[in-house]
């Protein structure tokens, strides 16, 4: 979205006001990752973005912000380890991690 564009819901319904900043989103992974850990999925996403690493560095260097937004849904105890090598790769790209954690709720 560009600065000054009319605000809208993700499905396109108009909202009041205009955007006061620019942003761009892309869905890198969607749904359950039963056969891989979250840390592996993040590493694979960085592999896919490797050719754009300089863009991310420049974008953040110019005052922008880049993040992987992660919605973590789970029914039972859940977790993962983000080892120093993965965290170093994220830091090298200048990409932050943002988590929204959604535990199951009792019926």
Tens digits of residue pLDDT in 2-50: 778 899 888 889 999 998 887 778 777 766 666 778 899 899 999 999 9
- The distance in angstroms from the start CA to the end CA of the chain is 38
pLDDT given for residue 103 in this prediction: 84
Residue-wise DSSP of 12-74: --EEEEE-SS------S--S--TTS-HHHHHHHHHHHHGGGHHHHHHHHHTT--EEEEEEEEE
Q: pTM of the entire structure?
A: 0.74
Give the start-to-end residue ranges of the domains of the chain. Answer: 27-103
Model pLDDT for residues 89-100, shown as the tens digit of each residue = 999 999 999 999
CA atoms of 95 and 93, how far apart (whole Å): 5
């Amino acid at each position: 979205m560009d600065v000054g564009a009319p605000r809208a819901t993700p499905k396109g319904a108009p909202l009041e006001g205009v955007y006061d900043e620019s942003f761009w989103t892309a869905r890198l992974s969607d749904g359950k990752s039963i056969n891989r850990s979250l840390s592996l999925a993040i590493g694979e996403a960085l592999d896919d973005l490797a050719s754009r690493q300089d863009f991310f560095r420049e974008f953040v260097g110019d005052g922008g912000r880049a993040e992987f937004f992660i919605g973590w849904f789970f029914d039972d105890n859940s977790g993962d380890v983000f080892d120093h090598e993965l965290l170093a790769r994220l830091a090298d790209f200048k990409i932050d991690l943002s988590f929204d954690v959604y535990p199951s709720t009792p019926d």
